[in-house]
Amino acid sequence: MLDQLQTLQANALQALEAITDEAALEQWRIAHLGRKSPLMQVFGQMNSLPKEERPLVGRTANQVKNSLEAALQAKRHALQETALQRALQTERLDVTLPGRPLPLGRLHPITQTMRQIYHIFAQMGFQVYRSRDVETDEYNFQLLNFPPHHPAREMQDSFYIQTETDRGDNPILLRTHTSPGQIHAMRAVTGYHGRGALPENPPPIRIILPGMCYRYEQITARASIQFTQVEGLAVGKHITLGDLKGTLSDFARRMFGQQVRSRFRASHFPFTEPSAEMDIECFVCAGAGCSVCKHTGWLEILGAGMVHPVVLRNGGYHPEKYTGYAFGMGPERITMLKYRIEDIRYFWQNDMRFLEQF
């Protein structure tokens, strides 16, 4: 049996030397290492051998098998090298040609708009404050003057993670606006935790709060279940509505051009009093009226107002000593207005034909 194995090895290696292509190499593998090859039959005959011969025969058979497999790999590598050399000799390759340019990544249009907003408010002295996306009903509604069963809650259909059945009157949800960050920021500055006396002299605050918001809404060309917001908050002594109007008017000029006009319209938000919405003169038709501004000459860009005394108190500021203003804007809407984008869904479909324009 040992002589047979040596003969098998010698014949297989001799046949391997004559092979010149991949197809013949595959046939060689089947003939000498396949399941029906003479070598594999030796393994099948092990039980018929005397017990004292089995270890030696088995060890020799494995050595032959490993030797043939190594020779197979070496031959395959040699054939590949030969094929590559032949291709280089027959094909023309101009190494002086420039390489193919790699496409460069770009910032998402919403990211570009948000960074522009950050830059403008940073120049005004605002700092960026980030708060969490998952909120409790207390922070998302109650501390912002939305008591349970308040009609204004119907304006914001919510994604609840844990319902009232699980957590009583304080379920967990995905935040519907960035306004809960106002309470987090004020309490971080004042050290107030919602209990006990209000701090005597808490420091002022001037921040913007960017982030993603989530609402359970029908997806249309103008509404989505997720969108970004940038909230603004300033609290201190002797802050007036004039400060709010001056800040936002200056923001509009820096964002849309120094010649843009703005106006404020009375509105209502539970967490501000008085409340207003801000419009800018349509930069497409210069106020003459067009399809972008729905022939009104004005474009709504944000909501704002003076912080409600209840919200100030919940944040740790005494409403008789401190005042403040807040505002909130949607970068998607601003981007759509600036570039005349007609469908908000374009921002999240990852269509390169759209994104490459920015």
Q: Are 325 and 79 in contact (CB under 8 A)?
A: no
Once rounded to an integer, what is the mean pLDDT over residues 114-119? Answer: 96
Q: Assign 263 to helix, strand or coil.
A: strand
CATH class of the domain defined by 109-355: alpha beta
Distances in Å between the Cα of 201 and the Cα atoms of 126, 224, 254 are: 21, 42, 34
Angle between helices 241-256 and 109-123 (to 10 degrees): 130
pLDDT of residue 307: 96
Q: What single-letter amino acid sits at 188?
A: A
Of 5-14, 148-157, 245-254, 331-340, the one with minimum mean pLDDT is: 148-157
Strands (E) across the chain are located at: 127-128, 134-136, 160-162, 172-174, 205-214, 226-236, 262-269, 272-281, 298-307, 323-329
Summarize pLDDT for 166-224 with one digit per residue, the tens: 666 788 989 999 999 999 999 999 999 988 899 999 999 999 999 999 988 888 887 88
Q: Are 231 and 181 in contact (CB under 8 A)?
A: yes
Tokens of 88: 């280089």
Of 36-50, 99-113, 240-254, the one with minimum mean pLDDT is: 36-50
pLDDT of residue 61: 78
Q: Are 83 and 25 in contact (CB under 8 A)?
A: no
Spatial CB neighbours of 283, under 8 Å, sequence gap ≥ 6:
256, 257, 260, 299, 337, 338
pLDDT of residue 164: 59
How many Cβ atoms sit within 10 Å of the Cβ of residue 323?
20
Once rounded to an integer, what is the mean pLDDT over residues 23-33? Answer: 84
pTM of this structure: 0.69
How many Cα atoms occupy the beta-carbon half-sphere of 256 within 13 Å? 25
Residue 299: band (very low, low, confident or very high) from pLDDT cuts 50, 70, 90: confident
Taking phi over 0 as left and psi of -120 to 50 as alpha, with beta for the rest, 289 belongs to: left
Once rounded to an integer, what is the mean pLDDT over residues 106-121? Answer: 94
pLDDT at 357 over 90: no
Q: What single-letter amino acid sits at 169?
A: D
Give me the percent of the chain exceeding a pLDDT of 90. Answer: 42
Summarize pLDDT for 221-263 with one digit per residue, the tens: 878 889 999 999 999 999 999 999 999 999 999 998 888 889 9
Q: Assign 301 to helix, strand or coil.
A: strand
Residue 101: band (very low, low, confident or very high) from pLDDT cuts 50, 70, 90: confident
DSSP 88-149: HHHS---TTSPPPPPPPP---HHHHHHHHHHHHHHHTT-EE----SEEEHHHHTGGGT--TT
Of 19-28, 35-44, 99-108, 311-320, the one with minimum mean pLDDT is: 35-44
Tokens of 205: 């605050």
The torsion angles phi and psi of 263, rounded to 5 degrees, stand at -145, 160
pLDDT of residue 155: 65
pLDDT of residue 129: 95
**What burial class does residue 251 get, using C-beta atoms within 10 Å of its C-beta: 0-12 exposed, 13-18 middle, 19+ buried?**
buried
Of 3-17, 95-109, 126-140, 259-273, the one with minimum mean pLDDT is: 3-17
* Cα separation, 227 vs 222, whole angstroms: 11
pLDDT of residue 117: 96
pLDDT of residue 1: 65
Rg (CA), the chain: 37
pLDDT at 30 over 90: no
pLDDT of residue 113: 95
Angle between helices 109-123 and 331-339 (to 10 degrees): 110
Once rounded to an integer, what is the mean pLDDT over residues 275-292? Answer: 83
